[in-house]
Structure 1
Amino acid sequence: MPLRLVLAVQDEQYIEPFLQFARSGEFERGYTVTAFSRTEAFVRYLEECGNQVDAVLGEAVFIEAVCRDGRERIKFIRLSEEEQGSAGSGALYKYQPLPLLLSTVFEKVREIREGAAPPEGRTPVYGVTAAVGGCGKTTLALHLVRQLASEGKRVFYLNLETIHSEVLCEARPAGKEGNTRGLARLLYDLKAGEERQEELKLPVTAYCYRHSVLHCDTFAPVDNFNELLEVGRKEAVALIGYIAGSGNYDAVIVDTDSFPHERTATMMEQCDKLIWLVADDWGVMRKTGAWLAHLEKTRPSLFNSVMAKTLFAANRVSGEVQALSAGKGIQVAAVLPLIPAWAQGNRQGGIMHSPIYQRDVMKLCRMLGTTKDGAREGRELFDSGRPVYPS
């Protein structure tokens, strides 16, 4: 995802070579640059299109002319003509070599790519999505849950698909566990509490059950599809916030219908990290790129937020990658293997098992920083954008 940079300097002779360099060579795919030499035009642009800007690189007269209230996500970097005083003030020397200048700018706004950290006391939320059905989205979500649970983490699996996966239907709670109130009752209680302006006092465990195969907490499948079809943005925000804010879990994995969908868009907005599945297929890559372009055009603020926390992963890959090398603006960072036995349709025994697949899911968990020891390694892999192929 290119960094959206605004250059604001009074000298038009500085702008021309800057744009020429930034739009060619090694930085061509890393930046989109909009330049201004007049303060009025610069201020007007930020007022109208500020939600599409990652960073402003400009002289003091431009930065001081902008009200930065409500623009916490934009990184303002001052250009200085004094080489000696730049380092101490946090400014960048204006006339340093452009490769060095652009590299330094990228490092300064690196936190934009990392996305916002979860609020204090809130469990990290990891979303799994895809633009095309059949990419293995739910299979990956289930394996992520099982991997994190095997590491001793307390995990909640939130499945908001209209039609649930088989593994949830096969492990329906019975007996004492079947007495939990369930998702439909929780949605009702959340709505009632909002109307009364009261916080829900019951714990999450009053509504969920312990899944015997996944070793996590989850909701029993909803039999009436209308109850899930009526879950819109407002209900999804309240539901995710209630679970993530309960303090009962180390991770929440959210799985929804394929994008575009209102619940899916809400999950993308609310999660802290997002795994977007693609495939080594021209059709899948084309459709994914088209939906991303549509999201950028219609909801630019959501698009910027989503891309800052998205890790693209290709599923069912075997041999050499072909379609993934196409210039779709999608940078694949992880690759999951094709398991031929799964194509036979044998679903007996609940979740499908494969040591090879689970090994690469473990690598993906490290990239997401779900473990303290793997967080640094994962951050480096995430930032590098290098595909992690099955070994």
Structure 2
Amino acid sequence: MSIAVAVISSDTEYVTRMMSYMKGSPIYHTWRLQLYTNPERIHQLTELERMELIIVEEHLHSSLLRRLQAGGGQLDELVYTSKRGAIPIIVLAAERRELLEHELYKFQSVSALLHGMQQRYERFRSGHAKKRLVTDDRQQTIAFCSTLEQAGKTVMALHVAALLASKGYRVFYCNLERWNTSDSFLAGRVLQEQAASYSDLLYVVKSRQNASKWLAEHAAAVEEYSFYMLRPFQHEADRRGLTTEDAQRLVAAIAESGLFDHVLVDLPAGLDDWTLPLLQQCHAHYMLLLPQPGWQRKHQLAMSCVERHNAQALEELQHKRLLVLSEPYGNCQPGSSVSDLESLPYVEAWQQGDPVLLGSVHYRAAVERCIQPLLTGEKVV
């Protein structure tokens, strides 16, 4: 994903030095710079509306604000709100002093300066995204489903949990699969045996105790990744006999606790009378598909069966659905009818040893793209 950046600076030597350094750094491939020697050189404000970040020298800051205000934009010292969205502003200060949140010291090393810009941009994007979720002011409950087994639901759900947590969100990973496969991707960071489980939460819900208070005391953060979870059902019979109604009550207890911004529900495979009500309960869901023609035929048969028996539920869920092509066993074959979907890549290293969450740059980047609709307010289709 590239970031369009407007740089407003009259110091051409300084900007040239910055550009020269960038060509040898990873940021060169992700930042696209548009240079202006002063705000008056911005002929049309629509040029800025295409930007995602504005960097301006301190002595040009005031004239930039006047230029933006004259064009009818809503702004303060930190953010310019155009017709296309909000754009953060970073001011380059020429003097060493106590800097404000939106300021960076101009004459520090270029590597430190670029790192500071990246940090401020990411912090803004994370904080601002929280105000533009696809739902209302409540937290979001997001499910992960597929029509058939081994489509990669758990892998994606764990990555989404870790990435959202890294952006400052309070995230709960709710594992309702019949077989727990999350441990293999947490590389020893699983919860201790004495930690609370879903069996304990089920008891709290059925006995009508205060679930919010209980979760505040017992939901445990996963080491390093900072999202929350419980141990799987400690008694196999609890999970085997879990009804849809009880599963809905568990999810509702977590979602309504007020402790989490996102509740991610990892569902067992299949669209049936057990999973469909849970999908209806969620604000959105990711449906994972596989590229193999044989799998696609089975998927279509499964969807046709759901449509015959639960057409109304399926129609209701269509606007909540995000389709993702998963490639856990190899690359998509040429001519795949779903090749235009967002794709989660095959990671060969995961087949050769113990996989580590966020251990693949390519997979992590693909998941980052997949969660953008949730963070930017784009319509879920």
If the length of structure 2 is used for normalisation, what is the TM-score?
0.59
| Residue 347 of structure 1: aligned partner | 354
1:163 equivalent to 2:147? Answer no
Instruction: Give the aligned partner of residue 333 of structure 1.
Output: 341
Deviations 1:46-82 (A, max 9, x none): xxxxxxxxxxxxxxxxxxxxxxxxxxxxxxxxxxxxx
Q: Which amino acid aligns with 1:126?
A: I
TM-aligned CA deviation for residue 315 of structure 1: 1.0
CA contact (8 A) 2:291 2:332 kept: no
- Cα offsets for 1:173-228 (capped at 9, x unmatched): 34xxx6554311211121121xxxx7646342333211114321101122322111
Corresponding residue number in structure 2 for 1:220: 231
Q: Which residue in 2 is equivalent to 1:183?
A: 198
CA distance in structure 1 between the partners assigned to 2:236 and 2:272 by the alignment: 15
Q: 1:333 to 1:182 in 2, by over 3 A?
A: same
Asked if the contact 2:142/2:282 (under 8 Å) is kept, the reply is yes
- Of 246, 261, 273, the residue aligned with 1:250 is 261
Aligned residues: 245
Report if aligned partners of 1:137, 1:277 keep a CA contact under 8 Å in 2: yes
Write the mapping of 1:226-305 to structure 2, written as runs, cut at 5 A.
226-260=237-271, 262-305=273-316
Q: Does 1:150 align with 2:163?
A: no
Which residue number in structure 2 is paired with residue 313 of structure 1? 324
Q: In the TM superposition, what is the alpha-carbon distance from 1:262 to its structure 2 partner?
A: 4.7
Q: Normalized per residue, which structure has more helix?
A: 1
C-alpha change, 1:311 and 1:133, in structure 2 (3 Å) is same
Alignment RMSD, CA only?
2.6
| 1:341 shift after superposition | 2.1
Secondary structure of the residue aligned to 1:324 is: coil
Secondary structure of the equivalent of 1:323? coil
Percent identity of the aligned residues? 21
Deviation, 1:319, is: 6.2
Say which SS state the counterpart of residue 338 (structure 1) adopts.
coil
Secondary structure, counterpart of 2:275 in structure 1: helix
Partners of 2:341 and 2:336 in 1: how far apart? 14
Q: Deviations over 1:244-264 (max 9, x none)?
A: 111111111110210145543
**Aligned-residue offset at 1:131:** 1.2
Summarize the Cα distance change of 1:285–1:189 in structure 2 as closer, same or farther, 3 Å threshold: same
Give the Å deviation of 1:233.
1.1
Any conservation in 2 of the 1:182–1:219 contact (CA below 8 Å)?
A: yes
Contact 2:212–2:253 (8 Å) recurs in 1 = no
**CA 1:264–1:356 in structure 2 vs 1: closer, same or farther (change >3 Å)?**
same
- Give, in angstroms, the shift of residue 282 of structure 1: 0.9
For residue 306 of structure 1, give the secondary structure of its aligned residue in structure 2: helix
User: Does the aligned pair in 2 maintain the 1:236–1:266 contact within 8 Å?
Assistant: no
Matched residues in 1 for 2:229 and 2:297: separation?
34
The 3 A distance-change label for structure 1 pair 222 and 324 is same
Contact preservation (8 Å) 2:196, 2:231: no
* Unmatched 5+ stretches in structure 2: 1-132
In structure 2, do the counterparts of structure 1 residues 139 and 118 end up closer, same or farther at CA, with 3 Å as the change threshold? Answer: same
- Name the SS for the 2:324 alignment partner: strand
- Counterparts of 2:225 and 2:275, CA distance in 1: 23
Give the TM-score normalised by structure 1: 0.57
1:127 maps to 2:121: no
Q: Using the TM superposition, give the Cα deviation of residue 236 of structure 1 relative to its aligned residue in structure 2, in angstroms.
A: 1.1
2:370 maps to what in 1? 364
Query: Does residue 207 of structure 2 align to residue 192 of structure 1?
Result: yes
Q: Whole-Å Cα distance in 2 between the matches of residues 334 and 288 of structure 1? A: 18
Note the alpha carbon deviations across 1:306-344, whole angstroms, 9 max, x for none.
22211111011636642325xxxxx96321222222232
Partner of 1:205 in structure 2? 216
Question: What SS is found at the alignment partner of 1:287?
Answer: helix
Judged with a 3 Å threshold, the aligned counterparts in structure 2 of structure 1 residues 295 and 152 are, in CA distance, closer, same or farther, namely: same
